[in-house]
Amino acid sequence: MTESHTEVALDSPWSGGGSPYAMGSKKLGMWLFIISDVMTFTALLMAYSYSRVSNPDWPAHVFPIFPAVIFSTTMTVVLLASSLTMVMAVAAAHRGARGAAVKWLLATMAGGLIFCGLHATEWFHLIEEGVRLFSNPWGSPLFGAAFFGITGLHMTHVMCGVIYLGVIAWGYGTSRFKDEDVEVSGLYWHFVDLVWMFVFPMIYLMSVKYS
C-alpha cells in the first residue's frame, strides 16, 4: 500500500482512521452505558406504574407536603444545582484550570451527599410510619418494595457517582487524568440527575396527600 492509500484509510471514519462520532472511546462507552441504564430505570418505573394501576388497594395518596414533598422537592433542586456545578467543572477542565475543576467537582460531590442525606431522612420518616419492603399500613404490600427498590437503586447510583467524582477529582488534580475523564464523569452525573427527573414526579408527585 502506498503512503497516500494509508492516509486515505486513516482519514476514513469507517476504516479505523477516525472516530465516526468525533469523540473518544471513553465518552462513547459512557453514552452506551447510560442508554443501557435508561432501559433499567424505564423497566422499573414501568413495573411500578403497572403495579399501581392493577392494584385497587394501592396507596395512592401517601406523601404529605411535609416532610415528603418538601424534602423531595429540595432534593430535586439540590441535584439540579449539583448538575450545574458539574457543568462548571467540565468547563474549567476544558480551559485547563485544574484547581477550579477540582473545586467544582468537590462542590458536585457535596450536592450528591446532601441529596443522599435528605433521602435517607425521608426513608426514615417512612420507616417510622411502618413502611417496610413487604408491608405497609396503607394497602398493597408491593408499595414498599417498589418505593425502596426504585429510590434505593437511584440513591446507589448517586453514591457511586460521588465516589467516581472523588476518584476523578483526585486523578485530575494530580494530572493523572485528562479533561476528557472529567467530561465523561459529568455525563454519568447528569444521567443520575436525569433519572431523578422521572422518579420524582412518578413516585412522589403522583402520590401526594391532599390536605
Q: How far is the CB of 52 from other proteins (least distance, A)?
A: 8
Task: Tell me how far apart the alpha carbons of residues 205 and 62 are, in angstroms, rounded to a whole number.
Answer: 10
* Nearest residue to 82 (alpha-carbon basis) of 157, 12, 170, 175: 157
| Contact (CB, 8 A) for 169 and 105 | yes
Name the segment binding other proteins (CB under 8 A); options: 98-106, 152-160, 163-171, 198-206.
Answer: 198-206
Applying CB under 8 A, among 54, 121, 135, 156 the residue interacting with other proteins is: 54
Residue 205 found at the interface with other proteins (CB under 8 A)? yes
C-alpha cell at 101: 475543576
Looking at the DSSP bridge assignments, the partners of residue 63 are 208
H and E: helices and strands count for the chain: 6, 0
- Total binding residues for other proteins by CB under 8 A? 65
Question: Among all chains, which residue has been given the C-alpha cell 484547581?
Answer: 99
Q: How far is the CB of 3 from other proteins (least distance, A)?
A: 10
By CB under 8 A, name the binding residues for other proteins: 7, 10-11, 16-28, 31, 35, 38-39, 42-43, 46, 49-51, 53-56, 60, 69, 73, 76-77, 80-81, 83-84, 86-88, 90-91, 94, 178-180, 183-184, 186-187, 190-191, 193-194, 197-198, 200-202, 205-206, 208, 210
